[in-house]
Each structure stands twice: as structure tokens, then as C-alpha cells.
Amino acid sequence: MWLTLPLTLGDCMASAVSDQPKLTLWVLSLTLWFLWAAGLLSTLIQTPLALTVLRICAPLPVLLGAAAALRVAPETPSILGWVGLATAAMLLVLAFAAELGDGFVNGSSYGEERRMALRPSAVLLLGPIELVWLLTVGPVLAALWLLAASQWIGAALLAVLGALSFCWGFRTLFRLGQRWVVFVPAGMTLVDPSVLAEPTLFRRDTITRLGPAPADTVAQDLSSGASGLIVQIDLSLPAPLLPLAGRSGIAEPIEVTSALIAPSRPGALLAEAERRGIAVQRS
């Protein structure tokens, strides 16, 4: 689908800027080809880093295509342009699908590992992540726009600001993608820098139940405030874990006999646990 964008959405973009000066066309063309190449390359390399690149790039074809479609009004985009807009919209949905994310996360595993992604906090999904994305790409695109308009000083200042903003935003979004459950021969390891100072292993021989959390559970909440189905891990022996440091700046180790996690694909996680001989209860 990504391969087809230059042939479809590119037609719409070309119609929208055909009357622009040569410098504008040159800057826009290079920018679009760079975004397309970055997105295409990220689809071919299944790693968490590539997933971050893909999810940063994925909204741009929809936004740029919609802007191009509005600019050609009152005429309408060609059939190829409409196909490109529809393809871009589908790509945006697929890029943020849990199944695709899980595949990219597991791409960094090795040996007998199986990595499965965790859902982010529900609060972060209601604006903060979108704002970080905007700060990641917005200043850079604005600098390119000023460059195309021959506003050299403004473009240079925004380029410096955009580079700093992009580095900060990319690191922030990449860190959000560094949260997963890792199935290993010894059991399950929870890797979540948003709630734990270091990875925590739940040994397979101590897990007595893995399944949906009861409504009245008092288990240690390690779900980062995610919405949706929460999975509870019950243990026969206490497991030590090190939560993030509080306001005092000191991380105090604790022991838990049950904990809550929020996998992106709860059903797939339970199926993998069952395959590995972990006690699973689905209700």
C-alpha cells in the first residue's frame, strides 16, 4: 500500500502545486520523496525503532493529501487522487493496529523469547501523544515551508528549533514503544520504564493464575492506567520489583503476589502463556 502512494496520492499533490514557483516544487518534491522512503523503509524492518518511524510518518500522507484536495477545490481530485486519500487513511489505521505493533515489537526478540506490546495509558491517548507528535514534525515542516517561500532567516531559525524538537519528540515516542512483556523459558518478564525502574521476572513455576483481572482485585497495578481488558498475574511466592522513584527520588523495592498488566492483545498473550505451560484462566 505504501508503494502505491506516489502513483495515487502523488497525482493529487501534483495537481495542487502545479502553479507554484520552481523552488517550492523542488522543496516539496524532495520532502515528499524523503517521507515516502522513510515510511517504506520502516515497513521493511520489523523493530521497535522502525515502528516509531512508521507511526510518525503514517499521519502525514492523510494530512498532506487532505490539504492538497482542499487546494484544488472547487475542482475535485482525480480518481487516482481519491484512491490515494483512501489508501492513506487505511495506512494510518493499520500503522496503529495492535497486531502490527506486536509484530514490530517481537522483531527485536532473540532465541526463545516472545515479546508482546503493552497498551499506553488512556490519559496519554487523549491528547499528550498527539501533541508530542505535532511538536516532533510541526517545526520541521514549517521550516521547509519557509524555505520553499524563500524566507531564509525564518527557515534557518525554525530548522534549529525543529531539529531540537524532533530529537526530543522522537525519543519520547520511542520510549513509549519500549514497553512489553517478554516470554522467556523461565517465565514472563515485564519491561515497562513508565512504572518500573528495572525489568521484573515472574517465574513460570510460581505463576498460579494468568487471566482477566476481577473487578474487586487488590493486585499491584502495573498497567500504567491503560483502558480495556486488564490481565492479572497471581503468584504462589512473592516476586520482588522496583517501582519508579517517587517524589523523594528514592526507589523502594517491594514484593508482590499479584500484579496487573495491560497487553495490547490480551487473547494472544494468554494463548502464548498457555503454549508455554503457564496456568491460564480465561474467565
Q: Does residue 76 register a pLDDT over 70?
A: no
Q: How many CA atoms lie within 13 A of 144 on its CB side?
A: 15
- pLDDT given at position 110: 84
Percent of the chain with pLDDT over 90: 53
Express each pLDDT in 58-67 by its tens digit.
999 999 888 8
180 by DSSP, 3-state: which? strand
Beta bridge partners of 196: 243
Q: Does residue 34 register a pLDDT over 70?
A: yes
- pLDDT given at position 246: 62
Mean per-residue pLDDT, 78-97 = 90
Q: Does residue 72 register a pLDDT over 70?
A: no
Mean per-residue pLDDT, 142-155 = 86
Cα dihedral 197→48→87→131 (10° resolution): 30
- pLDDT given at position 279: 85
Q: Does residue 268 register a pLDDT over 90?
A: yes
Mean per-residue pLDDT, 139-162 = 88
Q: What angle (nearest 5°) sits at the alpha carbon of residue 197, between those of residues 192 and 203?
A: 65
- pLDDT given at position 75: 63
Residue 112's pLDDT band, with cuts at 50, 70 and 90, is confident
Q: Does residue 270 register a pLDDT over 60?
A: yes
pTM, whole model, 2 decimals?
0.87
What pairing do the DSSP bridges indicate for beta strands 254-261 and 220-221? parallel
Q: Does residue 248 register a pLDDT over 60?
A: no
Q: In this structure, what C-alpha cell is assigned to residue 247?
A: 517524589
8 Å CB contact between 191 and 118: no
Residue 281's pLDDT band, with cuts at 50, 70 and 90, is confident
Per-residue H/E/C for 161-219: HHHHHHHHHHHHHHHHCCCEEEEECCEEEEECCCCECCCEEEEHHHEEEEEECCCCCCC
Percent of the chain with pLDDT over 70: 95
Q: Does residue 238 register a pLDDT over 60?
A: yes
